[in-house]
Amino acid sequence: MLKLENLSRHFGGIRAVDQLNLEVHAGEILGLIGPNGSGKSTTVNLITGVYAPTAGSLIFKGANIAGDSANQRIERGIARTFQNIRLFNNLPVWKNIWAAQVVRESGWQGLKQRWFASASEARGKTLDLLAFGDLSHKADLLAGNLAFGEQRRLELIRAVASGADLLLLDEPAAGMNAEEIDDLNQRIRQLKNAGKTILLIEHHMELVMDVCDRIAVLNFGQKIAEGTPSEVQDDPHVQAAYLGDDSTEPA
Amino acid sequence: MDFYFGLAQVIGIHTLLGFSAWCVLQTGQVSMLQGGFFAIGAYSAGMLTTMWQWPILPALLVGGLLAGIVAVIVGFPALRVKGLMLVVATMAFAEVVRLGFFNLTWQVSSPDGMIGPDGSLGFGGIRYFPSNGWSTLEVCVFIWILVAVVFLVLGWLDRSRAGIIWRAVGEDELAAQSVGINLTTAKVSAFGVGGVIAGLAGGVFAHYATHIEHSNFNILLATFAIAYPIIGGLASLWGVLLAAAFVQGFLIEGLRFLGDWRSLLFGALIVVVMLVRPDGVLRRREPKAGARHA
C-alpha cells in the first residue's frame, strides 16, 4: 500500500532518515521502532508531508506522492496522530471530528459539504466515531478539558474520521497507564478488522510485540531489521542497538 | 438627538470593521490591513455615488467586492509570513494603500463643480445621504440593517463548517493541515470575507463623513479594527459589537473631555484585557457534560 524507496531526509549534516526502504502492506499493522532519535517521527513527517524528502520516493497506492501537499495526502487516504497531542482545544469534542471529516466530493456538492454544511446535519455523522472512541457522553466538552487518555482517544478517532485507509500512529501509548494501553490495543485491533492499515510508531514494547504483524527497526535513520515480532526480538543487531537490558522495563 | 444617532452610526461602522478583523483573527492571523480595505471601500463607493451617480447600495457592494478582491490577492503572499512578521507586512501594505490614496487625483466635472479624490486635499462632497433627503435617523437605521445582515451571515458561516475550518486553523495549523484542511483556502477565504466586510464599512463611512482623506485610514484605524475582537473575544460576534460600542461610545465619545489622553486609555484597556481575560471579555460558555446542542 505504501512504499518508501531510498527515502532520505538530512538536516544539515544530520541524516535523520537515510536511504530508508520500507513497505507497508494493505491490512497489516506494521510496527516502527527504534531508540530515541532514530528517525521514526521524521519518517512519519515525511510520509504525511510535514517535511519534504531530501531524496527518494514515496509510493502510495501506486502513485508517487512525494510532491503532494499535506492535505492532498489526507485526501488520498493517509492520516496521522501526533506524539504530543495536537487537538483543537477550544473546539468541542465532536467538532474536532467534524473538522477532520475529509470531503472528497468535487464540484458544487463538495463545496457545499466542505464549507457550508450545517452543524445539525454534520453531528449525526460523528456519532459512530464518538461511540468508537467511547466519547459519546463528552461530545460537547471542549477538547482541551478532556482527561489525558480521552484526548489520546480523540486524536485516534480524529485520524479515523478522515476516512483514511492508512493510519500513522505516532506513539499513541505515550503517557498511558497499563489499563489504557490495553484499551488502545483493542482499538487498534478493531481498526485492523475494519480494514485499516496501520503504521505504529511506539516505544512500549509489550504493545508493539503484541499487536503488530511485522516490525521494522530503525537506528540512526537506517533500517537495521525487519520481520515478525519474534524474529525482530531475536535479532542480535536489534538487541545490541535497542532492546538490550532495558527491554523489560516499562516505558 | 441627532448626536446620538450620529454616535450610533459611528458604532455601527466600527462594529462592521471589527467583524472584518474577527474573520481574519479566527484563522490566527493578525492583520493590520483592515483599515486599508476600509479605505478601498470608502474611496470606491464614494467615487461611484458622486462621480457616476450610482445609488448607494450597489456602490457599497462594489466597494466591498473590490476590497475583497484586493484582500484575496494580498492573502496569498500573507500566507508566507506568520505572527509578528505578518503584522509588519500588513502594516506596510496598509501604508502603501494610504499613500496610494494620498496621491490619487481623479476628478470629473459635475453641476457643483469638480468632484472626486483630490490627492492630499482628500475627497469631499460625498453627499449622497443629504442630497437624497435622508435624515440622520434614516441613515442610522440603514447602517444598522447592514450590521444586522453581516452579523447574520457571519453567524451562519461560523455555525457551518467554514467556521470550524477557520477556528481549527487558528488553533493549530499543523494539526489542521494533518486532518486535511487546506491552509491556503482557509486563510485566503478569511482574508477575502474580512476584506469585503471592511470595504462595506468603508463605503458607509465615506457617506457618513462626506469628506474623506488618507489620514482617516492610518494605523489607529487598523488598531481599532483588531482591538474589538481582541477585547470582545473571538467566541462570538456579540463581543465585537459590545467592544465597538464601549470603545466608541464610552472611551472615545463619553470621555471626550480628556482629549488626547483617551488614546492612552484605549491602549491601557487592551493591555488590561490581555492580562485579565486573554480570551476576550465574552468567553465561550462551556456546556455542562451531557448537555446537548446542535
Cβ <8 Å between A82 and B159: no
Chain B residues within 8 A (CB-CB) of chain A? 159-162, 164-165, 167-168, 171-172, 174-183, 284, 286-287, 289-294
Candidates B161, B169, B181: best to mutate against A (most CBs of A within 10 A) is B161
Beta bridge partners of A2: A24, A60
- Give the model's pLDDT for residue B78: 83
Chain B residue numbers with beta carbons less than 8 Å from the beta carbon of A138 are 289
Query: What is the bridge-based pairing of β-strands A197-201 and A14-24?
Result: unpaired
Every domain of chain A and the residues it spans: 1-77+166-172+199-245, 82-163
- Give the model's pLDDT for residue A71: 87
Contacts of A242 (CB under 8 A, 6+ apart): A33, A34, A35, A217, A219
Total residues found in chain A within this entry: 251
The answer to whether A220 and A237 have CB atoms below 8 angstroms apart is no
Closest partner residue to B179 among A50, A89, A158, by Cβ? Answer: A158
What would the mean pLDDT of B262-270 be, rounded to a whole number? Answer: 82
Question: Which of A66-70, A84-88, B101-105, B264-268 is the least confident region?
Answer: B264-268
The answer to whether B223 and B102 have CB atoms below 8 angstroms apart is no
- Give the model's pLDDT for residue B81: 87
Express each pLDDT in B215-224 by its tens digit.
999 999 999 9
Average model confidence (pLDDT) across chain B: 90
* pLDDT over 50 at A205, yes or no: yes
- Give the model's pLDDT for residue B285: 55
- Give the model's pLDDT for residue B82: 84
Based on the number of CB atoms within 10 Å of its own CB, is B104 exposed (0-12), middle (13-18) or buried (19 or more)? middle
Cβ <8 Å between A123 and B294: yes
Confirm whether B265 is domain-assigned.
Answer: no
* pLDDT over 50 at B292, yes or no: no
Closest partner residue to A88 among B172, B286, B292, by Cβ? Answer: B172
- Give the model's pLDDT for residue B290: 42
Among A193, A148, A136, A197, CA closest to A173 = A148
- Give the model's pLDDT for residue B291: 41
Express each pLDDT in A1-53 by its tens digit.
999 999 999 998 889 999 999 999 999 999 999 888 889 999 999 999 999 99
Chain A residue numbers with beta carbons less than 8 Å from the beta carbon of B180 are 71, 74-75, 79, 100, 102, 162
What would the mean pLDDT of A88-104 be, rounded to a whole number? Answer: 94
- Secondary structure (DSSP) of A222-241: EEEEEE-HHHHHH-HHHIII
Q: State how far the Cα of B145 lies from the Cα of A242, in Å rounded to an integer.
A: 69
Confidence of residue B289 (pLDDT cuts 50, 70, 90): very low
What would the mean pLDDT of A220-241 be, rounded to a whole number? Answer: 89
Chain A residue numbers with beta carbons less than 8 Å from the beta carbon of B164 are 91, 95, 98-99
Chain A residue numbers with beta carbons less than 8 Å from the beta carbon of B286 are 141-142, 145
> Which chain B residue shows the shortest CA-CA distance from A73?
B180
The answer to whether A218 and A37 have CB atoms below 8 angstroms apart is no
Q: State how far the Cα of A1 lies from the Cα of A60, in Å rounded to an integer.
A: 6
Work out how many CB contacts closer than 8 A connect A with B.
Answer: 97
Q: Which CATH number fits domain A1-77+166-172+199-245: 3.40.50.300, 3.30.70.1150, 3.40.50.410, 3.10.20.740?
A: 3.40.50.300
Confirm whether B286 is domain-assigned.
Answer: no
Confirm whether B231 is domain-assigned.
Answer: no
Express each pLDDT in B150-208 by its tens digit.
999 999 999 999 999 999 999 999 999 999 999 999 999 999 999 999 999 999 999 99
- Give the model's pLDDT for residue A249: 47
Chain A residues within 8 A (CB-CB) of chain B? 48, 50, 69-71, 74-75, 79-80, 82, 86-92, 95, 98-100, 102, 113-120, 122-123, 137-142, 145, 158-159, 161-162
Say which residue the cell 506596510 belongs to: B92
**Range of the structural domain that residue B35 is part of:** 2-218
Q: Which three cell numbers, joined as nine digits, stand for B163?
A: 467556521
Chain A residue numbers with beta carbons less than 8 Å from the beta carbon of B179 are 74, 79, 99-100, 102, 158-159, 161-162
- Give the model's pLDDT for residue A238: 85
Q: Which three cell numbers, joined as nine digits, stand for B290?
A: 451531557
The answer to whether B50 and B126 have CB atoms below 8 angstroms apart is yes
* ipTM of the complex model: 0.89
Q: How far is A90 from chain B (nearest CA, A)?
A: 7
Cβ <8 Å between B162 and A99: no
What would the mean pLDDT of A66-85 be, rounded to a whole number? Answer: 91
Question: Which of B5-14, B55-64, B102-111 is the least confident region?
Answer: B102-111
Confirm whether B150 is domain-assigned.
Answer: yes
Confidence of residue A242 (pLDDT cuts 50, 70, 90): low
Chain A residue numbers with beta carbons less than 8 Å from the beta carbon of B287 are 92, 140-141
What would the mean pLDDT of B130-141 be, rounded to a whole number? Answer: 93
Number of domains composing chain B = 1
The answer to whether A173 and A149 have CB atoms below 8 angstroms apart is no
Cβ <8 Å between A50 and B167: no
Closest partner residue to B164 among A98, A158, A159, by Cβ? Answer: A98
The torsion angle over the Cα atoms of residues B197, B202, B208 and B211, rounded to 10 degrees, is -170
- Give the model's pLDDT for residue B3: 87
Q: Which three cell numbers, joined as nine digits, stand for B139?
A: 441613515
- Give the model's pLDDT for residue B284: 60
Express each pLDDT in A142-154 by its tens digit.
999 999 999 999 9
